[in-house]
Structure 1
Amino acid sequence: MLKRPIIIDTDPGIDDAVAIAIALFSEELDVKLITTISGNVGIDKVTRNALKLLKYWNKEVPVAMGASTPLIRQPEDASDIHGASGMEGFDFEEPTNELLLKENAVNAMYRVIQESETPVTLIPIGPLTNIALLLKVYPEVKSNIQEIILMGGSVSRGNKGVMSEFNIHVDPEAAKIVFDSGLPIVMAGLDVGLKALVLPEDSAKLEHMNATGKMLHSLFKRYRGGSMKTGLKMYDSCAIAYLLKPDLFEAVDTFVDVELNGSLTAGTTVVDLKGYLGKPSNAKVCIDVDPERFREWLLDSLRKCN
C-alpha cells in the first residue's frame, strides 16, 4: 500500500502528542517531517518536546524548528493548559539533536514537498505562522500540496478570545494567508474538538495498554483541556482523524475569513454558513463529529502504538 506523505506542523503540547502518536504508527501515513511552531509554549520547548516524543517511540523522523513569534503580534502561550514545559506529567529521557535539521521549518518543508513524488498533505495543529511563511516565500510549492488539514478556528465561540480559537487567535494574519491561499483546506476546529473526548474509562484503559498509553495517561493527569473526571478534549487528533477517517465528521464547503482588526474579535474565523458574503467556498469546515465512534477510533489507533 502506498502511504500518504504528510508533514505535521506542531507545538507539542499534550493533545499534540496524541495526534503525533497516531500518525507515526499509522500504516497509511508516511510522516516525512515534523516542524515546530511557537504556540502552547515557546519554540525551544516545543522543539525539545517533539524530539523527546521521537526518542520515546524510537522513530527517526527529521524535525525542523520554525517561527518563534507570530508574523506581527506578540507571542502568547497556553502553559496554563499544558504546563510550563508543554508536556508536564511524564519524565521523558533527554533527547539528542541528531534528528534536528539545520534548516529552518520553511526551507525544510519546501525541500520535502518539492522532492516528493506524490503531493504532500500538511497537518498544522498549532498556529499557522510556518505555513503562511512557506506559502509566501515559496508559492511554487502549492502545485505539490494535496491539501491542508488544520486544527484551528471555530464556527461559534472561542477558547482564547471570546470568539477566537487559540491557534488562530495567536497569529490571525498567518491564518488569513492560509485561508486565502487557494489550496484545498479542511478546518477541524473547536466545534468538533469540544466533542472529541477521552472519557475517564478511556484514560483508565490507556494506562495499561502499551508504553504510549502509559505515557499519555501520565500527561493527561496534568492536562487542563477538560478534566480526567468529565473528559479531556482531543482537539489536535481531530485533524488526523479527518485525514484517516473523514466519515466520523459532518463537514460543509463554505467560505472562511479571519477577522484581523476587531478590538474584541481579532482572530475570529468568520465561517459563512449561510452565504451572506456571497464568496465562493475556500474550505471544508467540520461542524460535527460522532463522539462515540471518535473514541473508538482513537483507542483503536493508540493500541497500534508501541
Structure 2
Amino acid sequence: MSRKPIIIDTDPGIDDAVALAIALFNEELDVRLITTVNGNVGLEKVTYNTLRLLKFFDKQIPVAKGASTPLIKDPVDASNVHGETGMDGYDFEEPDESLLLDEHAVNAMHKEIMNSQEKITLVPIGPLTNIAVLFKLYPEVKENIAEIVLMGGSTGRGNVTVMAEFNIYADPEAAKIVFSSGLPIVMAGLDVGQKALVYPEDSEELKDMNDTGNMIYHLFKKYRGGSFNKGLKMYDSCAVAYLLKPNLFETVDTYVDIELNAEFTKGATIVDLKGYLKQQNNAKVCIDIDADEFKKWFMENIKKCK
C-alpha cells in the first residue's frame, strides 16, 4: 500500500500536538515536511514545540520555520487557551535542533513539492500565511499538489469573534488567497470540531495507554479550549481524520469566501450553502461528523503511537 505524501503546516498548540501524533504514527501517511507558522503562540515558540514533539515521538522529520506575522494584520495568539508556551502541562526534553532546516518554510515546501514523484497533499492546521505566500511566490507548485485539507473556518459562528474562527481570523488575507487558489480544498472547521469530543473517561484511558497518551492527558489538563469535564474538542485532528477516514464526515461541495473588510465579521468564512452568490464551488466543507465513530477512531490511533 502506497502512503499518502503530506506536508503539515502547524502552530503547536495542544490540539496540533495531538494531530501530529496521529499523522506521524499512521502507516497510511508519509509526512515529508513539517512547517511552522505564527498562530496559537509566536513563531519561535511553535517551532520549538514542533521540535520538542519530534524528539518525544522519536521521529526524524525535517522542520522549516515560516511566517512570523500575518500578511497584513497584527498578530493574534491563543496563549490564553494553550498556555504561555503553547504546550503547557508536560515536561518535554530539549529538542534535536538538527531537524530544523536553514531555509524558510515556503522555500522548503516549494522544493519538496516540485521534487516529489507523487502529488503532495497540504495539511494546514494553523493560519494560512505560509500556504498563501507559497502560491504567490511559486504558483507552479499547484500542478503537483493533490489537495489541501485544512482545519479552519465555520459555517456559522466563530470562536475568536462572533463570526470568525481563529485560524482564518489570524490571517484572513492569506485565507482568501488559499480559497481562491483553484486547488481542491477540504475545510474541516468549527462545526465538526465542536462535535469531535474526547471525554473525561477517554482522557483517563489515554493516561495509561502509552507515553503519547500520557503526554496528551497532561496537556489536556491544561487545555482551556473546552471543558475537561464536558469533553475536549479535537479540532486539528479532524483534518487528519478526513485524510484517513473521510466517511466519518458529512460534506457539501460549495463556494467559500473570506470577509476582509466588515467591522464585525472580518475573518468570517462565507460558506454559501444555499448558492445565493452564484459562484462556482471551490471547497468541500465538512458540516457534520459521526462523533461516536470519531472517538473510536481517535482512541485506536493514539494506541498506535509510542
TM range (shorter): over 0.9
1:35 aligns with 2:65: no
Residue 179 of structure 1 corresponds to 179
State the number of aligned residues. 306
Helix, strand or coil at the partner of 2:235: coil
Which residue number in structure 1 is paired with residue 195 of structure 2?
Answer: 195
- Compute the TM-score of the two structures, normalised by the length of structure 2: 1.00
Q: Distance in 1 between matches of 2:236 and 2:286?
A: 13
SS at 1:135 equivalent: helix
Rounded to whole Å, the distance in 1 between the matches of 2:57 and 2:126 is 22
How far apart are the structure 2 equivalents of 1:94 and 1:47? 12
C-alpha RMSD of the superposition: 0.4
Q: TM-score, normalised by structure 1?
A: 1.00
Structure 1 residues 107-163: Cα deviation after superposition (integer angstroms, max 9, x where no partner)? 000000011100000000000000000000000000000000000000000000110
- What SS class does the counterpart of residue 227 from structure 1 fall into? coil
CA displacement at 1:81 relative to structure 2: 0.3
CA distance in 2 between counterparts of 1:186 and 1:2 reads 22
Structure 1: 4+ residue segments shifted above 2 A? none
Aligned mates of 2:46, 2:220 — CA distance in 1 = 17
Q: What amino acid is aligned across from residue 219 of structure 1 in structure 2?
A: L
The alpha-carbon deviation at position 207 of structure 1 amounts to 0.3
Letter aligned with residue 124 of structure 2: P
CA distance in 1, matches of 2:66, 2:170: 15
In 2, Cα distance between the equivalents of 1:247 and 1:237?
Answer: 15
For structure 2, which runs of at least 5 residues remain unmatched after alignment? none
Is 1:252–2:252 an aligned residue pair?
yes
Give the letter aligned to residue 247 of structure 1: N
Give me the whole-angstrom Cα distance separating, in 2, the residues matched to 1:292 and 1:246: 14
2: distance between equivalents of 1:296 and 1:278? 39
* Structure 1 counterpart of 2:107, one-letter code: N
Aligned to 1:76: 76
- Give the SS at the match of 2:32: strand
Aligned equivalent of 2:57: 57
> How many angstroms apart in 2 are the aligned matches of 1:3 and 1:103?
26
Q: Which whole-Å CA distance do the structure 2 matches of 1:227 and 1:88 have between them? A: 16
Cα distance in 1 for partners of 2:227, 2:184 equals 34
CA distance in 1 between counterparts of 2:244 and 2:19 reads: 12
**2:91: which partner in 1?**
91
State the 1:216 CA deviation. Answer: 0.4
Matched, 1:148 2:163: no
Equivalent residue, structure 2, for 1:223: 223
SS in 1 for 2:45: helix
Partner SS state of residue 236, structure 1 = helix
Query: 1:96 Cα shift?
Result: 2.8
Instruction: Report 1:74-153 matches (<5 A).
Output: 74-153=74-153
For residues 228-239 of structure 1, the aligned pairs below 5 Å read: 228-239=228-239
How far does residue 228 in structure 1 lie from its aligned partner after superposition?
1.4
